[in-house]
Chain A
Amino acid sequence: MKRLIVDFSYSLNASKTYQKTKHFFYNLLENDTFQYKKYFDLFMITLIFMSVAILIREVKSHVSDYLLYFNNYIISIIFLTEYLLRLWVNSSITEIIIKRSEYDAMLNTKFNLSIALLDILKVKIRYIVSARAIIDLLAIIPFFHQLRLLRIFILFRVFKLFRYARSFQTFTSVLATKKFEFITLLMFSGIVIFVSSVLIYVMEANNPDSPIDTLYEAVYWSIVTISTVGYGDITPVTDAGRFVAMLVIIAGIAVLAFTTSIVVSAFTEKLDEIKETKIVDDVSKLKQFYLICGYENVAEEVAKKLLSHSNVIVLDEDVKRIENAKKDGLIALNYDPGSVESYKKLRIDIDTQVKAILCLRESDVENVYTALTVRSINKDVFILSILMNDIHRNKLNFAGVNEILYAKELVGMIAKEFVGKPVAFEVIHALRSDYSNIDIEEIVVNERMLESFYCVAELHNSKYRVVLLGIYKQKNKRFLFNPIDTTLLEQGDYLLVIGNSMFIREFNKYLHQKISQ
């Protein structure tokens, strides 16, 4: 029997479908980053509101039996299923059994099933008694009882909202940081309420004019007064009672001011953190972006240029530079780009999200460090780095940087161009700069284009007033300058065209549209 259980646990633990199912439900219920969770949450929130709406409707008028049936059974069963699923995914029974059996095997003793069961029970009970689980359980109760009073448990379903709405969780977590202050406040107001209600009861209960006759009324009066609400339905009539009232009112002002200030300060302290969590969330949702590590002079300029056509994220460990980046309208995060931990915390998936990583710190040490860090978590991403001192070039190469830019060498080459080929230089410079309206663009040949164009002669580029400089053949990585008319186009090739940017756009449109004509 024991043997059977252990064997079964092993096979279940190794089963792919079982683990996959469990993982799916875990994601659906607990993982905020899972893409379908929000739909599930929305569905549950709708059920809760429907449930509450039925409860309200039921108070004064008759509700159709179908709705009541829906409310009592269907919704409850859905909630029950959710509760059981949560109980299931919360911990793994099979793992506990396996762990226990391996532990026993290691100690060379017989496998003790009862201890394993006890362990399981402990873990599950720990979950069952947690506040969230209790609320979940209470929300199911209307299913079991038709009693009028227990209908009120439907309101527990409203508490379930806390589970599904993230802002509630932020709110409670922020307030939780001020636990000590709130306890102090609660103690203070508790003592004041207790003392004042006893006092007012002693002073007024025997006075026939006074509306305060019971201790319950005294407590009610003092809570109404200390909260500065002051309905006025119960008022002290004796001098001594009024004196107590004055003390309670003064204490009430203090309590109110204190509460407000605690909440406000809790939020101001946490504001940056909340904002950052929001940014991190946004970043993890972005599809494609450039990651700039280090925000200094070159980085500023690069970011400006890239921002026009793509998302740019800046990482820097220096607060001041991050401030600058934010001022320049970038998404900037104060994380060390040279630490693996940062990428984990930011939940950046380098494979799918990052187009290229740019190490633009003006320090070779930092850039080597960042490049090496990135390479250690991803082998394929394109890394570009600037180089400050030529003697460090091989270190960057070794760290796995794909492209190295050495400003001093660039200046040397530019000087050479200036003196050697000024015409070429000026022409290329004019083509590159954004100021002239003449542009050079690359148009990638895709399947759709190939359906209507298969060789160069068919492009009719001169009709669109663009110059076809050449074709970059993806297959053999060669540039064919001024290709002859019969040159075949292939998928993945690039057409390099020069012309007025507007005409290039038109030409590009024509290339992609022809199929429909």
Chain B
Amino acid sequence: MKKITALIFGYNDYAFEIAKNIEHKYRDICIFKLNSDEATLQKKNYKIKNFDFSDEWDELKNTFDMQKSIAFCVLEDDAENIFLTISLRSSFKDLSIIALSKNKESANKLSMAGANKVIPVVQTTASIIADMLKKPVVTEVLHDILYEKSDLKIAQIQVEKDNFFDGKYPADIEWSREHGIIVLSIMHEDMSSEFIYSSKVQHHVIKNGDIFVVVGYENEIKEFEKSIGSRCDVDWDNWSR
């Protein structure tokens, strides 16, 4: 389901950075300030609202369509952040929650509290630093793909016309030569993802409903998409798949 509203809980630099980066994607962005926060800085033109931990989300429910919203919990204090996540989860079963945590321990707690995705700040920064030093070229290329500095894209494409493959095994197809794309992995109907060269995939005939994860330039991906099926949207409930 397409999300149209972003609710950011927390009134700090993290919140503003997130708001800045996602504003092109959402019709509505609202930053919530914890009542106890003594905030003096007034930032740009975001909607700023107050909230507290009293668990009364009626106003929220009335103003926004929670089904079409995504929530970011970025409070500075990990304990408060966990509390907020639990509170949101208990009130809204279907809300997508992305939470920020300082370290791995609270990351686990946040997932237990019902966050769909947790960003452990320290770990993330550290692994980016380590990757930069260990595999500089890989990191550069991947970053270019992720942060849109190059035209390369990674996409997910669902097979709808399996007769195109004529019962072939994935390993028999010269993906890069014939289609100009690289297939990284295949997801089966049971939603388990397998790397393209894994032995399981070697014996799997391509069927309708399989999903390819491919890398390539936009045009080639479009061509490929046309011939076999359609690009699929992200399943927000099973995000990590």
Q: Does A147 contact B (CB under 8 A)?
A: no
Contacts of B147 in A (CB 8 A): 413, 417
B133–A290 touching, CB < 8 Å: yes
B17 lies within 8 A of A409 (CB): yes
Residues in B68-94 with C-beta less than 8 Å from chain A: 70, 72, 74
Chain B, residue nearest A426 (CB): B240
Q: Give the Cβ gap from A472 to chain B, nearest Cβ, in Å.
A: 5
Q: Which residues of B contact A410 (CB under 8 A)?
A: 121, 124-125, 128
A440 contacts across to B, CB distance below 8 A: 135, 138, 142
**Known pairs A411-B17, A500-B197; A425 contacts B126 (CB<8 A):** no
Q: Which of A86-94, A214-222, A400-408 contacts B (4 or more CB under 8 A)?
A: A400-408
In the complex the two chains form, what is the Cα distance from A462 to B3 in whole Å? 40
Asked if A427 meets B184 with Cβ closer than 8 Å, knowing A407-B121, A422-B234, A438-B195, the reply is yes
Cβ proximity bits B137-168 to A, threshold 8 Å, 1 near / 0 not: 11011101111001011111000000000000
Chain B residue, CB-CB nearest to A422: B234
Residue of B nearest to A483 (CB): B176
Shortest C-beta distance, A219 to chain B (Å), equals 70
Tell me the nearest residue of chain A to B126, going by C-beta: A301
> Hey, what's the 0/1 contact readout for A409-426 against B, CB within 8 Å counting as 1?
111111111111111111
> Which residue of the partner chain B has the closest CB to A420?
B25
Alpha-carbon distance between A240 and B174 when the two chains are bound, in angstroms: 111
Query: Per a CB cutoff under 8 Å, which of B121, B141, B184 touches A472?
Result: B141
| A residues lining the B interface (CB < 8 Å) | 290, 297-298, 300-302, 304-306, 309, 355-356, 358, 360, 384, 386, 389-390, 403, 405, 407-428, 431-433, 438, 440-442, 462, 465-467, 469-470, 472, 479, 481-482, 485, 494, 496, 498-500, 503
Which of A304, A427, A438 is within 8 Å of B154, CB to CB? Answer: A427
Q: Give B197's nearest chain A residue, CB to CB.
A: A465
Which among B26, B134, B239 has the highest number of chain A CB atoms within 10 Å?
B134
| Cα–Cα, bound, A465→B129 (Å) | 29
Known pairs A482-B181, A496-B137, A496-B138; list 5 more (Cβ under 8 Å): A411-B17, A424-B145, A426-B240, A479-B141, A482-B180
Asked whether, in the complex, the Cβ of B125 is within 8 Å of the Cβ of A442, the reply is: no
* Chain B neighbourhood of A356, CB < 8 A: 133
3 smallest A-B Cβ distances: which pairs? A412-B17, A301-B126, A424-B154
B156, A405: Cβ atoms closer than 8 Å: no
Bound: A428/B138 CA distance, A: 11
Of B34-42, B45-53, B211-219, which stretch is located at the interface?
A: B211-219
22 A-B pairs (CB sep. < 8 Å): A297-B122, A298-B129, A301-B122, A309-B134, A390-B13, A412-B18, A415-B17, A418-B98, A423-B213, A424-B145, A424-B146, A424-B153, A427-B184, A428-B146, A441-B138, A442-B135, A442-B136, A442-B138, A466-B197, A472-B137, A472-B140, A481-B216
- B109: interface (CB < 8 Å): no
B220 nearest CB neighbor, chain A only: A482
Q: Do the beta carbons of A494 and B137 come within 8 Å of each other?
A: yes
Q: How far does the Cβ of A356 sit from chain B's closest Cβ, in whole Å?
A: 6
Do the beta carbons of B126 and A298 come within 8 Å of each other?
A: yes
Name A414's closest neighbour in chain B (CB-CB).
B119
Q: Does B103 contact A (CB under 8 A)?
A: yes
- Asked whether, in the complex, the Cβ of A419 is within 8 Å of the Cβ of B70, the reply is yes
Tell me the chain B residues, 1-23 only, with Cβ under 8 Å from chain A.
3, 6, 13-14, 17-18, 20-22
Checking B25, B181, B182, B215 against A419 with a beta-carbon cut-off of 8 angstroms, the contacting residue is B25
Q: Give the docked Cα–Cα distance between A415 and B180 (Å).
A: 30
Within 8 Å by CB of B150, from A425, A431, A438, A479, lies: A479
Partner of B144, one of A416, A469, A479: A479
Closest beta carbon of chain B to A220's beta carbon, Å: 70
Neighbouring A residues of B131 by C-beta, 8 Å: 432
Question: Which residue of chain B has the shortest Cβ distance to A474 in the bound complex?
Answer: B137
CB-contact partner of B135 in A423, A428, A441, A466, under 8 A: A441
Query: Which residues does chain B contribute within 8 Å of A472, judged by CB atoms?
Result: 137, 140-141
CB distance from B82 to the nearest CB of A (A): 17
The answer on a CB contact under 8 Å between A415 and B197 is no
Chain A nearest CB from B128 CB (Å) reads 7
Chain A residues near B217 (CB, 8 Å)? 481
Say how far B135's CB is from chain A's closest CB, in angstroms: 5
Closest-by-CB residue of B relative to A416 is B21
